[in-house]
Amino acid sequence: MSTLSYKISRIAIGCILLLTIACKKKFSPRQTQDNLKYAWLTFLKKGPHTDTSRVIFQIIDVIYFQDSTVDSAYYICEFKVSMKIPSQGIDTVGTMNGTISKDFSIIHRKY
């Protein structure tokens, strides 16, 4: 009898693990873009040398692809960013590149 309950418990644990992996939330391309833009904007605003009372950032566009060749998959991104400093009359648009983890918590800026 204990062998039967052992087998049933293993099957139950296997089913729970399978459901956990299968039910992983997948974002639509639009949601992924929005999350990447938000993560990058937060990264820019919380930088150590950024005075957000003077500098205004706006993410105009993001081009990305998912690189999952390593264990921790990430997005390789190119952002079109608008930066304005109204007090000095500076208004410019530039490109920034970086990587963002799939859970949007780890961000590395390349340039």
Kindly indicate the confidence band of residue 39, based on its pLDDT and cuts at 50, 70 and 90.
very high
Q: Quick one: tokens of 54?
A: 């003077």
If one compares 2 and 36, the residue with the highest pLDDT of the two is 36
Residue 49, pLDDT > 70, answer yes
**Which tens digit of pLDDT belongs to each residue from 57-83?**
999 999 999 877 766 689 999 999 999
Of the candidates 90, 66, 101, 94, the one whose C-alpha atom is nearest the C-alpha of residue 79 is: 94
CA of 1: how far to CAs of 7, 35, 66, 95, in Å?
10, 51, 49, 66
Kindly indicate the confidence band of residue 98, based on its pLDDT and cuts at 50, 70 and 90.
very high
Residue 9, pLDDT > 70, answer no
Q: Stretch 98-108: mean pLDDT, rounded?
A: 92
